[in-house]
Amino acid sequence: MVLKFTQSLDLDWRLYRHDIQGSAAHARMLGAAGLLTDGEVRQIEDGLGTVLREIESGALSPSERLEDVHMNIENRLTELLGPVGAKLHTGRSRNDQIAVTVRLYLRDRLLELRSALLALLAALLDRAEKHKDLIVPGYTHLQQAQPISLGHYWMAWFEAFSRDCGRLEFAGASLAECPLGSGALAGSTLPLDREATSRALGFDRPTRNSLDSVAQRDYMADYHHFASLFAVHAGRLSEDLVVYATQEFGWLKLPDSFCTGSSMMPQKKNPDVPELIRGKTGQVLGHMMDLLITLKGLPMTYDRDLQEDKRGLFASLDTVSGILEVLPPLIAGTDADGAAARAALEKGLSLALATDVAEHLVMKGVPFRDAHRKVGRLVRYCLDRDKALPDLTPGEWKEHLPEAGTDVAEILSMESAVARRKTYGGTAFGQVAFQIGQGKELLRGKEESLKSEKERLKNL
């Protein structure tokens, strides 16, 4: 009963490859330090290779009696090699062993996530390029506010997810230190070369404090911070896709392959994939809180509570990976209905161009607060008569807003409203093209950095 409760194989068996990787490096270091002979190092490396093949072929299944991935691998190695296999754990505790194993595993998973996240950035750039000249409603409070370029909208999400990419890179950088050699908590009396092990495993340096090495889970929290904000962004984007694809809005068109029909109503096209992405956001946030609450109040150094840190980590990694598997092709297949967007804008054009008129007055010397009040009264006049601002006659303009002048007609179009917003980062067509160019440059840099990191680790 107690063994079943304390075992961790349901969590850590997926770490077998990285546990073997760390063990092989540890054996080579022991050999260089004179704690193993050259022949013993070769035996251990060959034996670990045999164990790896047995696991991957299914010939070796984990035993709950042996509690965790580390003991299962070491037990099988000792069965194969006898006393030589039992020498592998020299100068090592399961505390520093799991710390390095999880780091190696997480490092590989974060590289996979970076590749997938860059694919999402590329899909957003593609949509922005295609839709940079298409005008759609922009919203605040989910109410029509001003016309914008749809390309500008896609680039807004590009900015959000590029920040997530930065957070993901930071999470990867937090894995740069190797804890192996810290022992249970206080280091070792043996002549271990921690620098050599660190280099062999592709880390920048060994950790600086053995107590902190086996106690801290900051690197996991850094991943969860990335994952949580990424999931929030993915959920908010999904909400937009769901809303803007409804018949009431109708100017975004989701690809059929990411939607399903109703079991009862044949006319329905349900946005299942974005709804599921939105629904999974809470799970990812919950996993972050799970870790932080576990860590809260734990004494130095290792405590068995930390065995559970991997449950939320692995679940979150799997969820985020799943989202990143479907989100890039979903975005790539999402299109727009320009006619529906224009119809929606024309319906609310009185409101959409009101700010343009107010700023037009400002350019003529009217204080903004006065301009805001005057244009507000004019909008009320239009609403009461079911008119749009471009429908007003010159006489009506002169009567209700004489400060506007006769040239006000030049700004009363959606194209003008978008094109005139030329401030840096604005929605003007030229600004959107500039943002896309910047985005492409940023993406190229991140792709080159990722390729370089993969090559570095491949050549270890």
Task: Tell me the catalytic residues.
Answer: 141, 262
- Locate 440 and state its tokens: 């492409």
Q: In b/e form, how buried is each residue of 386-421, taking b as 16+ CB within 10 angstroms? A: ebbbeebeeeebeeebeebeeebeebbbbeebbbbb
Are 185 and 445 contacting, i.e. CB atoms less than 8 angstroms apart?
no
User: Taking the alpha carbons of 333, 337, 341, 347 in that order, is the dihedral positive or negative?
Assistant: negative
Q: Give the residue from 103, 117, 241, 234 showing the smallest Cα distance to 168.
A: 117
Question: Can you list the alpha helix ranges (DSSP code H) found in 133-268?
Answer: 150-173, 194-200, 210-215, 218-244
Task: From residue 345, give the alpha-carbon distance in Å to each of 134, 309, 385, 391, 393.
Answer: 12, 50, 18, 14, 21
Q: How far apart are the first and last CA of the chain?
A: 43
How far is it, in rounded angstroms, from Cα 73 to Cα 62?
A: 9
- The strand pair at 252-253 and 177-178 is best described as unpaired
In the block, tokens 């710390």 appear at 99
Q: Please name the helix (run of DSSP H) or strand (run of DSSP E) that holds residue 148, with its range, or none.
A: strand 143-149
Task: From residue 284, give the alpha-carbon distance in Å to each of 214, 232, 267.
Answer: 25, 9, 33
Are 19 and 69 contacting, i.e. CB atoms less than 8 angstroms apart?
yes
Please give the distance of CA 254 from its chain centroid, rounded to a whole number.
Answer: 22
- Locate 384 and state its tokens: 């009461």
Are 63 and 32 contacting, i.e. CB atoms less than 8 angstroms apart?
no
